[in-house]
Structure 1
Amino acid sequence: MRALTVRPGVADSLALSEIAEPSPSEGQVLVDGLCVGLCGTDAEIVAADYGEAPPGSELLVLGHENLGRVAEAPAGSGLSAGDLVVGIVRRPDPVPCGACAAGEWDMCRNGQYVEHGIKGLHGFARERWRAEPDALVRLDPGLTDVGVLLEPTTILAKAWEQIDRIGARAYWEPRVAVVTGAGPVGLLAALLAAQRGLQVHVFDRVTEGLKPELVADLGATYHTDTLPDSKIEADVLIECTGVPSVIVDVISHSATDSVACLTGVSSAGSTVPLDIGNLNRAAVLRNDVVFGTVNANRRHYEAGVAALAAADRSWLTRLITRRVPLEQFADGFHRRPDDVKVVLDIDGTGVAG
């Protein structure tokens, strides 16, 4: 069968390869792949910044943002042929550490977890794949055209869960949320903030086109100036760019008792001038919290499903700006100025199924 593969550690080795059918040892449920979303992580793996093939394989199948349809499922699994599903990306380490043993594998403490399409497990950019029932999340058929957005939504579902938990340390009545970056993660962060009834401000460099329109359609405010220039003091800040100067703005300009969540991953080696003494003074005197978050567990996938189900379907559909056939994968990785989310179509229908 066809699969999109790389040779980890070899830059620009991306190829459409013929690989073996998935082994039953990979899971009891056989899934027909419908589509995968492309993101910065995939591009970094293609550039050989990281990525790890499964044991015994020279290739790694890409694709962690996924959507599939059950082809075969065992009795008693809770799944049936035809069900729309998303595979959970991270799986617990084999030890397991305390977090993984408690079902919180997104907080793995020893680093021995594996991740589909990233670290030690083949991804979902293949025609068929297998998983155990507990590694699959079922979606309503009404989410067929947007279900591939679930995995990035889980990152924000986890972020908001942690923001709410941190806020509960004391009196907590957030009113204003700032999101930096209007890519898919930033827009989904804004969606979940709007669903919570907050006044939402989104910052990005793009001055016109789809991004400002999507933000406006959420009832949020779009900004092309900087957070310091805007004079906005936010109770909640979600950083989705990974740009060092923007990160400094986020952790330096907030309201008292604020919570700032960092979701963007920065490249190493970047430096910016920083008065750490002033930053520390402000954070201490304002009771500020800054934390980072990555990946998600099953609870966050289920929360993500609920968020997508509650969203305006046409708004979600517009996030997917291009659907590219699997055999034209190179075009999918060629970034265009108006791209928001690019999806590779695996099943050949041109839609998600």
Structure 2
Amino acid sequence: MIGLAKTAGGPGNVELIERPEREPAAGEVLLDVLAAGVCGTDLHIEAGEYAAVPPVTLGHELCGVVRAAGDGVDAALIGARVVSETFFSTCGACPPCREGRPNLCALRRSIGTHVDGAFAPRTIVPARNVHRIPAWLAPEGAALAEPLACVCQCMLDPAAVAPGERVLVVGPGPMGVLAGQVARTLGGEVVLSGLPRDAARLEVARGLGLEATDTLADGFEADVAIDASGSAAGAAICMEQVRSGGRFVQVGIFGRPVTVPLDLVLKKEIDLSTGFASTPLSWRRAIRMIERRDVALDPLVSEVAALGDWRRVFDDLRASRGMKVVFDPQASA
């Protein structure tokens, strides 16, 4: 089958190529991929800014239908529409694994970086990783369950927002809009901030009932500031706008070393927290939020594209054109 793969290290080296297929082994399921979201991490991998083990098919945000199951897997899963956690394997013995934090295992292998992922018509994942999705949720929206789980990892363990707190979210991309929705669910009064070029994305946020602006009022001060921009400027705004004794949560990935005013963390006694990827706990919380309709996923999908359009899609997302683009690996280019 044809998949979009990172073929070698360094910048570039991403192309549509023939990728190997196999049957699911014991404890695994084979998925027909219905939708695969393009993540900022995929852009960082293409730019050589995030480690991958090539050759490897990209894509870790997915929704699919279980086509076949290996030994030891409940046959009732076949035909189910599911989303999947991203870690293919971990050591299971290190302190983070034993503490329920497989995201921090030094030997973790993840789909889309170490093991072939979802930018192909079919992929294989461990059966323990899949979660059924509600019938009302479109596959394209369901692909955002993975970024939602990552936001939950950053914001819910422990809760980053208390009821009534003013929350600033910098960066109105998918992670920022998801973070804003989660903060609102926690009882926060949310302001989502972007740049003038983010007008379309800010409008999506307003459509979900979030306050969104490209100009913060003079003297604006937040109890909690969340950077979802993955930029040094965004992180600096958060540190500047959060009140003394407030909290700063880093959700975005920079992809490179950056300079930020860390002295503000000291001088204002800011509590700084973050979260890497996701855990089984953050996935359970994300699925529960979806089932309760605490967050909306479908409105964040700005385009469904064929894999053959990947170059244009990557360029558009780097230029902040569109919100979330999802590949349909079953579609012809």
- Assess, with a 3 A threshold, how the Cα gap between structure 1 residues 131 and 92 changes in structure 2: closer, same or farther: closer
2-structure distance, mates of 1:44, 1:31: 25
Shift of 1:341: 0.5
Runs in 1 of length 4+ with deviation above 6 angstroms? none
- Asked if 1:282 is matched to 2:256, the reply is no
The aligned residue for residue 32 of structure 1 is 32
Matched-pair contact (CA < 8 Å) for 2:185–2:294: no
Aligned to 1:83: 80
Give the conservation status (yes or no) of the 8 Å contact 2:63–2:82: yes
2:13 matched residue in structure 1:
13
Give the whole-Å Cα distance in 1 for the aligned partners of 2:320 and 2:153: 29
- In the TM superposition, residue 256 of structure 1 has moved relative to its aligned partner by 4.9
**Superposition pairs for residues 38-117 of structure 1, below 5 Å?**
38-53=38-53, 58-73=54-69, 77=74, 79-94=76-91, 96-108=93-105, 111-117=106-112
Note if 1:325 corresponds to 2:306.
Answer: yes
After superposition, the C-alpha distances for 1:272-307 in whole angstroms (9 at most, x for unaligned) are 5x482x641321xxxx31112110012211211222
Seen in structure 2, the aligned counterparts of structure 1 residues 144 and 28 have a Cα distance that, compared at 3 Å, is same
Contact 1:8 1:45 (C-alpha < 8 Å) held by counterparts: no
**Deviation, structure 1 residue 209:** 4.2
Within 2, Cα distance between the matches of 1:270 and 1:132? 36
* Bigger radius of gyration among the two: 1
Pairing partner for 1:124 from 113, 118, 127: 118
Q: How does 1:1-353 map to 2 (within 5 A)?
A: 1-25=1-25, 27-53=27-53, 58-73=54-69, 77=74, 79-94=76-91, 96-108=93-105, 111-118=106-113, 120-145=114-139, 146-164=141-159, 173-206=163-196, 209-226=199-216, 230-271=218-259, 274=261, 276=263, 279-283=265-269, 288-311=270-293, 316-335=297-316, 337-348=320-331
User: Which consecutive unaligned segments of at least 5 residues does structure 1 have?
Assistant: none
How far the C-alpha of 1:93 sits from its partner, in A, is 2.7
Shift of 1:310: 3.4
Q: Distance in 1 between matches of 2:262 and 2:32?
A: 53
* TM-score between both structures, scaled by the size of structure 2: 0.88
The Cα shift of 1:27 comes to: 4.6
Task: Go from structure 1 to structure 2 and tell me whether the alpha carbon gap of 1:212 and 1:19 turns closer, same or farther (over 3 Å shift).
Answer: closer
Range with greater deviation from structure 2 (87-96 or 295-304): 87-96
- Give the letter for the 2:176 counterpart: G
Cα 1:93–1:230, aligned 2, differ >3 Å: closer, same or farther?
farther
In the superposition, the TM-score normalised over structure 1's length comes to 0.83
Instruction: Pick closer, same or farther for the CA change 1:134–1:334 going to 2, 3 Å.
Output: same
Distance 2:294 2:102 in 1: 31
Give the distance between the partners of 1:295 and 1:156, measured in 2 at CA: 8
Letter of the aligned partner of 1:308 in structure 2? I
Maintained 8 Å contact 2:163/2:186: no
User: Cα deviation per residue 1:196-215 (whole Å; 9 max; x = unaligned)?
Assistant: 33211011003674322222
Identical pairs, percent: 22
Distance in 2, matches of 1:26 and 1:247, equals 44
Give the secondary-structure state (helix, strand or coil) at the position aligned to 1:130.
Answer: strand
AA at the equivalent of 1:295: A
Letter in 2 for 1:239: D
Amino acid in the other structure paired with 1:237: A
How far is 1:333 from its partner?
1.7
Comparing 23-32 with 126-135, greater Cα deviation is found at 23-32
Deviation at 1:312, TM superposition (A): 7.7
Within 2, Cα distance between the matches of 1:230 and 1:116?
44
RMSD: 2.7
1:240-293 Cα deviation digits (max 9, x unpaired): 112213212312332354222101122434435x482x641321xxxx311121
Which string of whole-angstrom CA distances, capped at 9 and with x for unpartnered residues, describes residues 23-78 of structure 1? 4348531211112111221112112223332xxxx511100111111112367637
- Larger displacement relative to structure 2 (63-72 or 240-249): 240-249
Contact 1:8/1:48 (CA < 8 Å) preserved in 2? no
Distance across 2 between alignment mates of 1:21 and 1:275: 48
Structure 2 runs not aligned, ≥5 long: none
